Chain A
Amino acid sequence: AQTVTQSQPEMSVQEAETVTLSCTYDTSENNYYLFWYKQPPSRQMILVIRQEAYKQQNATENRFSVNFQKAAKSFSLKISDSQLGDTAMYFCAFMKHAGANNLFFGTGTRLTVIP
């Protein structure tokens, strides 16, 4: 079975600063995908970033980047130059390769950006 753990229920960051959200996972699969999804107060879930396990290079999307450590089963999200619009719940998620769009989600980290 796959499990995803987010150990930080809540975090806050000053506007324009950098914050890192942690995620660890457990799986016996060798090939899989990892994601960070964002759920703002309006509650529509949005994909932030995606990482394929076979790629050693860490994914980046503008101000968002990940630190993927496959051996340690760690997948942290770094948000640079935090903006007020980054305030949201952030969910780390895992999907087996060829996994029927069945995402296993962590419990989420509520991030608040302080002006």
Chain B
Amino acid sequence: KAGVTQTPRYLIKTRGQQVTLSCSPISGHRSVSWYQQTPGQGLQFLFEYFSETQRNKGNFPGRFSGRQFSNSRSEMNVSTLELGDSALYLCASSRNSGLAGGPGSGELFFGEGSRLTVL
């Protein structure tokens, strides 16, 4: 069974540009959540998508957005990049949305991440 696939693995952008990151979840998983990992702030929740609907959003500015397609693949977009957006962006898939609670809640399967460098 293929794992969570994130593309691209590495990318370099300049301030003011925008970037789109892609995540393909494990087959059968309908929830995709995104996390930002930086040395200073650690791991922070960006948002979760389930069945093409955003279920929850973390404390990030509106420059950070995402979407999910009918095949559960998800993209996140960051517009008007700032230096502070340099980070490892992790995507995680889960069979169910965490809002459901119950068995499997919070059992996330992570991809290897997309390393974004903003110059």
Question: Given the interface contacts A50-B106, A91-B43, A102-B48, does A44 sit within 8 Å of B97 by beta carbon?
Answer: no
Question: Given the interface contacts A45-B90, A102-B56, does A97 sit within 8 Å of B105 by beta carbon?
Answer: yes
Inter-subunit contact A105/B43 (CB<8 Å): yes
Chain B contact residue count (CB 8 A cutoff): 30
Inter-subunit contact A103/B99 (CB<8 Å): no
B46–chain A nearest beta-carbon distance, Å: 10
Inter-subunit contact A100/B92 (CB<8 Å): no
A-B pair number, CB within 8 angstroms = 76
Q: Using a CB-CB cutoff of 8 Å, which residues 61-101 of chain B contact chain A?
A: 88, 90, 92, 94, 97-101
Contact count band on A: 20 to 34
B23–chain A nearest beta-carbon distance, Å: 13
**From A33, A43, A45, A108, contact of B92 by CB (8 A):** A45
Interface residues of A (CB under 8 A from B): 33, 35, 42-47, 50, 91, 93, 95, 97-108
Interface residues of B (CB under 8 A from A): 3, 31, 33, 35, 42-45, 48, 55-56, 58, 88, 90, 92, 94, 97-101, 105-113
